[in-house]
C-alpha cells in the first residue's frame, strides 16, 4: 500500500470513529520512517565494530547509553553483555517484549560496503575475520530505533514495553553459557513478565519489501550428537584378528539415515539426521581401534525430537553390538523448535499486511536452521517473522545466504522491519493483549 493510500484509509477510519487508535499507529509509523538516517547510521557503526558472541561489550554500551538517554529503566550485564530496558506507558495495558540479538560471526566479509568490517580477532585459537553475516546489526539498530520512537509517545502508550538486547544468539563459546537460556535464568522475564514477545529476522533470498511468517513450527530444533565406536586394532590384512570400527561406523551411518527415511512419520513434520564428521585410522594397512563421528539432528516437533534421540542411541549401540564393537553416544540439546503462537499470529497478520501491503506478506516454508528465540516462546506467546533484504532486481536463488561472506542487506528491508515491529507493538498494546 502506498503511504498516500494508507493516509486515506486512516482518514476514513478517523471518520468511522477509530480516531485515537489509528492516529497513534500512523504517527508512530511516520516517526519511524523519519528516523531512517539514524537507524542506518547505527547499523553501519555496529556492522563496522562487530563483536563475537558473549563479547558484545561495545555494542551493549552503545545500546545502554541510548536507552538511558531516553529515560528508561536499564539493566546491563544480563547473560554477560545483554541489555534490558523497560518503557512504562502512561496508560494501563499489557506488557510486550521485543528481542534483538547483538552478536556477529567468525566470517571474513567479502562484500565491499563502506562500513565493511576489516579487523581480525581470535576465535577458538585461530585468527578470524568477524562479520555481521546474520544481520544482527540491523536487528539491534531497528529495536534501538523503535525504543526511541515509542518513548516519544510514552504518555499515549497503553501498557509497557520491554526491550531485550540479547548476546550470543549464535551460541556461546564451547563450554560457556549464554544467549536466551542464560537471559531467562537471569530473570529477563521477571518484573514485569511479558504477555507476548516479538522478534524479526532479516533473511537473504526474500526480496526487500516482503515479509514472511508461519504460524506454528517455523524453525527447527538443533541438537548435536557425538559417537565413539570402539573396536580392536589389527593389521589391515588380518581383519578377523580384531574388531573393525570403520566398517561398523559405515553401517551406523546407513542405519542413522533410516531413522528419517524409514522410521518416523515425515508426513507429520520433516526431520534431518546428518553425520557431519568421521575420523579414524592412521595408515592404509592398519584397522584402527577407534572411530569418532559427530552430527546434528533437526526436527519441528518436540516429541519427534525426543523419539529421534532415542533411535540414534538405539541404532548406534545395536549395530556396534552386532559387530562385537562398543559405542558411546552423547547428545547435546542446543536449541528448541521455534513455534509461532497461532492465535497471536492470526491477531497480528492484519498489522503486517497493513504495513507491508497485503501482497508482500506470505507464508514462509519451514526453515531447517534454528533460533534460540524458541526459549522465550516456551515461556510466553511469541511471533518471530522474516523480513526480506535481497535487492528486488536480484534473483533470490542467487543471493548469498545468511552466515556467508557475501551476505548483503538491502536497507529498504531494514526500514520495513522497523515499521512492522513498531506497528506490532502499538496494535498489540491497543488490543489490550
| Catalytic residue positions, numbered | 103, 169
Residue 134 or 183 having the CB closest to Zn ion: 134
Close Cβ partners of 410 (under 8 Å, ≥ 6 residues apart): 208, 389, 390, 391, 392
- Residues binding Zn ion: what is the number (CB under 5 A)? 1
Judging by beta carbons within 10 Å of its beta carbon (0-12, 13-18, 19+), is residue 112 exposed, middle or buried? exposed
Close Cβ partners of 326 (under 8 Å, ≥ 6 residues apart): 229, 230, 320
Give strand pairing partners of 86. Answer: 73, 162
Give min distance, CB of 403 to Zn ion, in A. Answer: 6
The closest alpha carbon to 319, from 260, 253, 365, 370, belongs to 253
Q: Mark 32-51 with x for binding to Zn ion (rule: CB under 5 A) and - for no binding.
A: --------------------
Give min distance, CB of 167 to Zn ion, in A. Answer: 13
Residue 162 or 201 having the CB closest to Zn ion: 201
Angle between helices 136-152 and 19-34 (to 10 degrees): 130
Residue 134 or 287 having the CB closest to Zn ion: 134
Give min distance, CB of 179 to Zn ion, in A. Answer: 11
Residue 50 or 354 having the CB closest to Zn ion: 50
Separation between Cα atoms, residue 204 and residue 291, nearest integer Å: 38
Binders of Zn ion among residues 57 to 76 (CB under 5 A) are: none
Binders of Zn ion among residues 145 to 164 (CB under 5 A) are: none
- Answer yes or no whether residue 143 interacts with Zn ion by CB under 5 A: no
The closest alpha carbon to 355, from 109, 72, 28, belongs to 28
Q: Are 312 and 297 in contact (CB under 8 A)?
A: yes
Among 95, 102, 107, 134, binds Zn ion (CB under 5 A): 134
Cα four-point dihedral sign 351, 361, 343, 88: negative
User: What would the grid cell of residue 162 be?
Assistant: 520491554
Give min distance, CB of 82 to Zn ion, in A. Answer: 16
Give min distance, CB of 56 to Zn ion, in A. Answer: 13
Candidates 8-16, 25-33, 50-58, 126-134; binding stretch for Zn ion (CB under 5 A): 126-134
Candidates 10-18, 91-99, 132-140, 175-183; binding stretch for Zn ion (CB under 5 A): 132-140
Judging by beta carbons within 10 Å of its beta carbon (0-12, 13-18, 19+), is residue 80 exposed, middle or buried? buried
Give min distance, CB of 101 to Zn ion, in A. Answer: 6
Q: Are 174 and 54 in contact (CB under 8 A)?
A: no
The count of other CB atoms within 10 Å of the CB of residue 14 is 15
Binders of Zn ion among residues 226 to 245 (CB under 5 A) are: none
Separation between Cα atoms, residue 429 and residue 97, nearest integer Å: 11
329: helix, strand or coil: strand
Residue 98 or 134 having the CB closest to Zn ion: 134
- Answer yes or no whether residue 337 interacts with Zn ion by CB under 5 A: no
Residue 134 or 421 having the CB closest to Zn ion: 134
Separation between Cα atoms, residue 12 and residue 26, nearest integer Å: 13
- Answer yes or no whether residue 131 interacts with Zn ion by CB under 5 A: no
Candidates 131-139, 185-193, 221-229, 412-420; binding stretch for Zn ion (CB under 5 A): 131-139
Query: Which positions touch Zn ion (CB under 5 A)?
Result: 134
Amino acid at each position: 500500500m502506498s503511504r498516500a493510500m494508507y493516509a486515506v484509509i486512516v482518514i476514513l477510519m478517523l471518520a468511522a470513529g477509530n480516531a485515537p487508535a489509528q492516529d497513534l499507529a500512523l504517527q508512530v509509523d511516520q516517526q519511524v520512517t523519519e528516523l531512517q538516517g539514524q537507524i542506518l547510521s547505527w547499523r553501519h557503526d555496529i556492522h563496522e565494530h562487530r563483536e563475537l558472541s558473549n563479547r558484545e561489550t561495545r555494542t551493549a554500551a552503545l545500546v545502554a547509553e541510548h536507552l538511558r538517554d531516553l529515560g528508561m529503566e536499564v539493566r546491563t550485564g544480563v547473560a554477560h553483555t545483554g541489555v534490558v530496558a523497560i518503557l512504562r506507558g502512561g496508560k494501563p495495558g499489557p506488557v510486550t517484549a521485543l528481542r534483538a540479538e547483538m552478536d556477529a560471526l567468525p566470517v571474513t566479509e567479502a562484500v565491499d560496503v563502506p562500513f565493511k568490517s576489516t579487523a581480525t580477532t581470535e576465535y577458538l585459537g585461530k585468527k578470524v575475520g568477524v562479520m555481521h553475516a546474520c544481520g544482527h546489526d540491523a536487528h539491534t539498530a531497528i529495536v534501538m530505533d523503535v525504543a526511541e520512537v515509542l518513548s516519544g509517545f510514552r504518555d499515549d502508550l497503553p501498557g509497557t514495553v520491554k526491550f531485550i538486547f540479547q548476546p550470543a544468539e549464535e551460541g556461546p563459546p564451547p563450554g560457556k553459557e549464554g544467549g536466551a537460556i542464560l537471559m531467562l535464568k537471569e530473570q529477563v522475564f521477571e518484573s514485569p513478565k511479558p504477555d507476548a514477545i516479538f522478534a524479526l529476522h532479516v533473511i537473504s533470498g526474500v526480496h526487500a519489501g516482503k515479509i514472511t511468517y508461519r504460524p506454528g513450527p517455523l524453525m527447527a530444533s538443533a541438537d548435536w550428537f557425538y559417537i565413539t565406536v570402539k573396536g580392536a586394532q589389527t593389521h589391515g590384512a588380518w581383519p578377523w584378528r580384531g574388531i573393525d570400527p570403520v566398517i561398523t561406523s559405515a553401517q551406523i551411518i546407513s542405519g542413522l539415515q533410516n531413522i528419517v527415511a524409514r522410521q518416523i512419520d515425515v508426513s507429520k513434520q520433516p526431520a534431518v539426521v546428518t553425520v557431519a564428521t568421521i575420523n579414524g585410522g592412521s595408515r592404509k594397512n592398519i584397522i584402527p581401534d577407534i572411530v569418532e563421528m559427530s552430527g546434528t539432528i533437526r526436527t519441528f516437533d518436540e516429541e519427534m525430537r525426543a523419539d529421534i534421540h532415542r533411535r540414534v542411541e538405539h541404532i548406534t549401540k545395536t549395530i556396534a553390538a552386532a559387530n562385537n564393537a562398543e559405542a558411546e553416544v552423547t547428545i547435546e540439546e542446543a536449541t528448541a523448535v521455534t513455534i509461532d503462537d497461532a492465535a497471536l499470529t492470526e491477531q497480528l497478520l492484519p498489522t503486517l499486511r497493513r504495513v507491508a501491503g497485503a501482497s508482500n506478506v506470505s507464508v514462509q516454508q519451514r526453515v531447517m536452521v534454528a533460533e534460540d528465540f524458541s526459549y522465550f516462546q516456551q515461556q510466553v506467546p511469541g511471533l518471530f517473522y522474516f523480513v526480506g533484504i535481497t535487492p528486488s532486481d536480484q534473483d533470490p536463488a542467487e543471493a548469498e545466504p545468511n552466515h556467508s561472506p557475501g551476505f548483503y542487506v538491502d536497507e529498504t528491508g531494514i526500514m520495513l522491519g522497523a515499521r512492522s515491529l513498531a506497528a506490532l507493538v502499538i496494535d498489540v498494546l491497543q488490543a489490550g493483549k
